[in-house]
Amino acid sequence: MSVLPLPDMDGAAADEVATEPVPPSRRRGLPQLLRRPGSGLGVAWLVFLVIASFTAPLWRPYEVDEQDLAHRLEGPSGAHWLGTDPNGRDILSRIFTAGAEPLLVSTLTVLVAFGIGIPLALMAAQRGRRTEQVTSRLTEIVMALPSTILLLAVIGVIGIKIYLVMGILGVLISAVVYRIMLGVAQSVRQRLYVDAARVNGLGSLAVNLRHVLPGMATVIAVQAAQLFGIALLIQSGLAFLGFGPAEPQPSWGVMIQTASQHIYDAPWLMVPTGLVLALTVVAVNELADAIAGKVTAERVVPRRRSRVVASSTAAPADPDAVLEVRDLSVAVDGGPQLVTGVSFALRPGRVLGLVGESGCGKTMTARALLGLLPDGVSVSGGSILWQGRELVGLPDSRLNDVRGREIAMISQEPMVALDPMFSVAYQLIQPIRRLRGVGRAEARKIAAELLTSVGIVDAERVLKTYPHQLSGGMAQRVCIALALTGKPKLLIADEPTTALDVTVQAEILSLLRALVRDTGLSVVIVSHDLGVVADICDDVAVMYAGEVVESGSVAAVLDDPAHPYTMALLGANPHVPDGEPVPRRLASIAGTVPPPGSWPTGCRFAARCQFAQEQCTVPFVPFPAHGDGRATGSVRCIRVEELARAHVTWDADDVGAVVLVGADPLEPADETAPTAGVRS
Amino acid sequence: MFAYLARRLALAVLTVLAAVLISFLLVHATPGSPGAIRAGAGGTAAEIARYNSELGWDQPLWRQFLDYLGQLVRLDFGTSLIDSKDIGADLGQRLPVTASIALLATLLSGLVGVLLGVTAAVRGGRFGRFITSSSGVALSLPAFWVGILLVFVLSLQLGWLPATGYTRFTDDPVGWLTSLALPVLTLTVGGAAVIARTAGAGMREALRQEHIRTLRAVGTPEWRIRYLHALRYASVPVVSVLGIQFIALFGGSVIIENLFALPGLGQASQAASSSHDLPALVGVVVIATIVVVVTNLLLELVVAALDPKVRTS
């Protein structure tokens, strides 16, 4: 995930659609754990089992060796609730008497495993590479030893000393614990506060105890629960093989072994003991899952959307527009709106910028155009007319005709946008063959040509590489080539340069500019960087809290902003430093973007606006913008006329004065540094 | 890549040596001596001393260790203290039984687990959650209990499969398969559950990846996205877990062989353990370690073949 909040809607959306309550934070107390029905029952069973097992001598109806030979191998009855074994002994009494030992012994195994594994991991994480490599190799050897068979060998040598044997199992398992904990310890140690504690002179033991260990608590709890379950199974397995407590002392493994011998004449025998053991392990694992929050993670269900939204079929307002978005709304299914009433139009060969702070719905709007919204999020209203064809409500199968062929997309993080498992050649050739209907050899030639056309010099070599071997800029060029495989007419670029180095950003922007110039491609570019917008866009739509607050030509909007939010964006950023994302500098716009679901009914910017008045809190419709170059633009501010007459400027606290955009962004010269930002 | 493999190979040899050393030391830490075990309960001191001297027990420890290593290199595991049989030959007959159970169970677990896991991830919804939670239960069930339940249902009630016993493949291939069916099914219940969870989580994670959106954006057909790209992405963790499963099932077969009366390594180690047949115990540990180590090496190769990041580094 990126550092920008917006793509996190993936997770947020998934949480919103969850039917069960999703714990708000990672640190959950026991009461919240219990809310999951499975884990609640599991905890209840474990508590019951522990109490019943350790108090069994106090309440058990029969002694464990009390034989009732007249009632052998009987099913449940009033006298023997769980029946009797081949010697006529009461199963209920024996099961719970037998419970204490596996519980204690498994606890011992877990304690030994963690007692060795955790200190070793902490030490390895602290001492650095040399120590880590020695301990890691050693544990690898221990992990490769066949533990069950080794345990049998141990028993063969030392006899059935179950505490010692299970302690040795703990030693063997400690290698696994070390492995897991090392990774966690290393990442916890890299957190800033641990560094700070170290700098402040806290001793290494104190740092480990006070800062590193608590950070590992969740993983330790999950692992402990799972290992406890494994130890239970191994202990009862050993007893099943005859390496358990001696008769008449009861044990689960021996009781199941007995059941297996009476499967012909007394099948009931296998039910109670097996069920108690199985329930216990299930409960422990369920608890581990609950602690790990697995259900939350697995809730993200890739289910294709089938919701069809009715939309208008009115004639396009702009007859020249190739893409016309009208009143587009995007919402979490059964949840809050993420984007509302967004409208804009795009003519062929033009570049439109969607700009705004993070969390304003830019990416959602862009993704809606191709029907590539995250799962659990869908278009809830409005229309997307592509060359006169309505895209909203089209099923995926029909949208697939548009994707790649007519509209293509490049994304924010080129390094993860390519499939790591396939070569660049495969990833290009496959869509080329499908979209252009050519053979393999021809497709390979086209792939090389495409790579050359996006400025890759040694196309043949790049074709043979895998994504992890590419640099960020190179990967973005490959992504652009991939987007061009179907000769699209519209390219949607979602923050195409955000993740890249400054110099590479400039190269990618000039590549996009050249593509627009040479191929007549239309582009919708999402950015939070006004510099990028000024540099490459013809038109701009400024978005705030899920709606377009101002739109029009770049020249008009950036030179003469009419909406206070646009003024604020510009005013707060007289010098956008190279490579510095704009929002970080927005300290002078007090407050933050209100999250979806908490938008006010009137102007959504009012709470942060220097010019807000009481009238701003009532709903209103956006005004068509006035002035040159604003024929298709709009301004969503009820005081727009007033403010324009007064020639107000946004007082940026940090800066003190508004500095206007100087250069003409309509004719950006190739040699100017494209990321220079809004120039003063 | 070659340096990497060489390092892995060195570590594998070290692991086997460690296993030999550990079991060797374990045997020598025993109170009593192999001579006493061989002589049995009624053995006289002279008899015990004679046996011990025959076995080289009176030699210095390092000498005995080197001798034993030398024997192992010639694949000589010594003779049993109990019945004086050749341990190497005995274990050599037993290895195929255990290996075929573990291998068949791993393959079946992989097949069923991947099918279930992928279905859970792709279908999602209530059905997907059902698969996920029921595999959570299945992987917690003790295998020996599952085995008893399966014997009761499939063999006693329905009479489809023999409950116990082993038929050699060379004697009767069909009989071989049916004699292995119940143990393999038993191990598959837990094994498939583990794989289903791994495959499901892997597919879900794969389908959330950014590159999947890239594929959608160029109109890649959904089947291709799921069963070629996402499955390939999920295959690396699945194969790793399959390897771990094989090792776990190999070890876990001790219990299953006991339950189904199969003449495998597990049964041998149980018997050797009960009778304190020390050389046989060491032999089983060494063979099991070699199996684990070889499996791990094969696994490294498969993962390298699957994951370009490993292959090209």
Which pLDDT tens digit goes with each residue over A484-534?
999 999 999 998 888 788 888 888 888 999 989 888 899 999 988 888 888
Inter-chain CB proximity B312 and A301 less than 8 Å: no
Task: Please tell me the distance in Å from B170's CA to the nearest CA on chain A.
Answer: 28
Taking only the tens place, the pLDDT of each residue in A598-647 is 888 878 887 788 777 777 877 776 666 555 445 557 788 877 777 777 77
Nearest to A277 among B142, B201, B210 (CB): B142
Residue of A239 and A629 predicted with greater confidence: A239
Q: What pTM did the predictor assign?
A: 0.80
Q: Based on the fold, state whether residues A249 and A128 are members of the same structural domain.
A: yes
Q: Based on the fold, state whether residues A190 and A60 are members of the same structural domain.
A: yes
Q: Which token pair is A211?
A: 């800062």
- Mean of the pLDDT values across residues A641-668? 53
- Mean of the pLDDT values across residues B290-309? 86
Domain enclosing residue A330, as ranges: 306-348+359-399
Question: With an 8 Å Cβ cutoff, is B308 touching chain A?
Answer: yes
Residue A84: beta bridge partners? A90
Taking only the tens place, the pLDDT of each residue in B173-207 is 888 888 888 899 999 999 999 999 899 989 988 98
Rg (CA), chain A: 33
Taking only the tens place, the pLDDT of each residue in A378-404 is 898 889 999 888 888 888 888 888 898
- Mean of the pLDDT values across residues A190-218? 74
- Mean of the pLDDT values across residues B4-15? 84
pLDDT at A15: 31
**Residue A182 belongs to a domain:** yes
**Residue A354 belongs to a domain:** no
Q: Based on the fold, state whether residues A395 and A420 are members of the same structural domain.
A: no
Task: Please tell me the distance in Å from A437's CA to the nearest CA on chain B.
Answer: 14
**Contacts with A, B 190-249, CB within 8 Å:** 200-201, 204, 207-211, 213-222, 229, 232-233, 247
- A676: pLDDT confidence band, cut at 50, 70 and 90? very low
Question: Looking at the predicted structure, is the pLDDT value of residue B1 above 70?
Answer: no
Task: Please tell me the distance in Å from B217's CA to the nearest CA on chain A.
Answer: 5
pLDDT at A672: 35
Task: Tell me the range of A473-477, B152-156, B163-167 where mean pLDDT is highest.
Answer: A473-477
Q: Based on the fold, state whether residues A576 and A658 are members of the same structural domain.
A: yes
- B157, exposed or middle or buried, with CB in 10 Å at 0-12, 13-18, 19+? exposed
CB contact set of A455 (below 8 Å; sequence gap of 6+): A477, A507, A511
- A47, exposed or middle or buried, with CB in 10 Å at 0-12, 13-18, 19+? exposed
Q: Based on the fold, state whether residues A619 and A654 are members of the same structural domain.
A: yes
Percent of chain A with pLDDT over 90: 20
Nearest to A417 among B211, B270, B274 (CB): B211
pLDDT at A351: 93
A183-191 contacts at long range (C-beta below 8 A, 24 or more positions apart): A184/A121, A184/A215, A184/A216, A184/A219, A185/A121, A185/A122, A185/A124, A185/A125, A185/A212, A185/A216, A186/A125, A188/A212, A188/A215, A188/A216, A189/A125, A189/A126, A191/A215
* Cβ burial A162-194 (10 Å sphere, 16+ → b, else e): beebbbbbbbbbbbbbbbbbbebbeebbeeeeb
- A310: pLDDT confidence band, cut at 50, 70 and 90? very low
Mean of all residue pLDDT scores within chain A:
78
Inter-chain CB proximity A240 and B255 less than 8 Å: yes
Q: Based on the fold, state whether residues A93 and A120 are members of the same structural domain.
A: yes
pLDDT at A31: 55
**Residue A545 belongs to a domain:** no
Of A26-40, A359-373, B120-134, which gets the smallest average pLDDT? A26-40
List alpha helices for chain B, DSSP H: 2-28, 34-39, 45-54, 61-73, 87-123, 125-138, 143-150, 173-208, 210-217, 222-224, 231-260, 265-275, 278-306, 308-311
pLDDT at A89: 85
Which residues of chain A neighbour B26 with C-beta distances below 8 Å?
153-154, 157
Task: Identify the residue among B28, B158, B214, B259 best suited for mutation to test binding to A, counting A beta carbons within 10 A and taking the highest.
Answer: B214
Edge-to-edge strands, sheet with A323-332: A337-346, A323-332, A377-386, A389-390
Percent of chain B with pLDDT over 90: 15
Phi-psi group of A581: left, alpha or beta (phi > 0 → left; psi -120 to 50 → alpha; rest → beta) = beta
- Mean of the pLDDT values across residues B79-101? 85
The structure tokens 């909040």 sit at: A5
- A5: pLDDT confidence band, cut at 50, 70 and 90? very low
Taking only the tens place, the pLDDT of each residue in B23-60 is 888 777 776 677 777 777 777 778 777 777 777 777 78
**Residue A278 belongs to a domain:** yes
Taking only the tens place, the pLDDT of each residue in A568-599 is 888 766 544 455 454 444 446 777 788 888 88
Q: How many CB pairs under 8 A join A and B?
A: 250
Question: Looking at the predicted structure, is the pLDDT value of residue A350 above 80?
Answer: yes
DSSP, residue by residue, A420-480: TTS-HHHHHHHHHHHHH---HHHHHHHHHHHHHHTT-S-HHHHHHS-GGGS-HHHHHHHHH
- Mean of the pLDDT values across residues A397-417? 88
- In the three-class reduction of DSSP (H, G, I as helix; E, B as strand; rest coil), residue A147 is classed as helix
What single letter denotes the amino acid at residue B75? L
Q: Based on the fold, state whether residues A339 and A441 are members of the same structural domain.
A: no
Q: Based on the fold, state whether residues A17 and A92 are members of the same structural domain.
A: no
- A8: pLDDT confidence band, cut at 50, 70 and 90? very low
pLDDT at A352: 93
- Mean of the pLDDT values across residues A159-167? 88
DSSP, residue by residue, B117-130: HHHHHHH-HHHHHH
In degrees, to the nearest 5, what angle opens at C-alpha A16 toward C-alphas A12 and A17?
125
Taking only the tens place, the pLDDT of each residue in A290-302 is 887 754 444 444 4
**Residue A550 belongs to a domain:** no
**Residue A301 belongs to a domain:** no
Task: Identify the residue among B8, B144, B282 best suited for mutation to test binding to A, counting A beta carbons within 10 A and taking the highest.
Answer: B144
Question: Looking at the predicted structure, is the pLDDT value of residue B305 above 50?
Answer: yes
As for how many domains chain A has, the answer is 4
**Residue A447 belongs to a domain:** yes
Question: Looking at the predicted structure, is the pLDDT value of residue A217 above 50?
Answer: yes
Among residues A475, A507, A537, which one ends one of the domains?
Answer: A537
Mean of all residue pLDDT scores within chain B:
85
**Contacts with A, B 67-126, CB within 8 Å:** 121-122, 124-125
pLDDT at A663: 36
Q: Based on the fold, state whether residues A105 and A142 are members of the same structural domain.
A: yes
Residue of A634 and B142 predicted with greater confidence: B142
pLDDT at A632: 59
Inter-chain CB proximity A409 and B142 less than 8 Å: no
Question: Looking at the predicted structure, is the pLDDT value of residue A199 above 80?
Answer: no
CATH number of the domain where residue A417 is located: 3.40.50.300
Task: Please tell me the distance in Å from B6's CA to the nearest CA on chain A.
Answer: 14
Question: With an 8 Å Cβ cutoff, is B32 touching chain A?
Answer: no
Question: Looking at the predicted structure, is the pLDDT value of residue A655 above 60?
Answer: no
Q: Based on the fold, state whether residues A389 and A533 are members of the same structural domain.
A: no
pLDDT at A306: 44
Q: Based on the fold, state whether residues A322 and A443 are members of the same structural domain.
A: no
Inter-chain CB proximity B218 and A435 less than 8 Å: yes
**Residue A640 belongs to a domain:** yes
Measured from the Cβ of residue B295, the count of other Cβ atoms closer than 10 Å reads 19
Inter-chain CB proximity B204 and A298 less than 8 Å: yes
- A36: pLDDT confidence band, cut at 50, 70 and 90? low
Of A95-99, A468-472, B275-279, which gets the smallest average pLDDT? B275-279
Q: Based on the fold, state whether residues A98 and A231 are members of the same structural domain.
A: yes
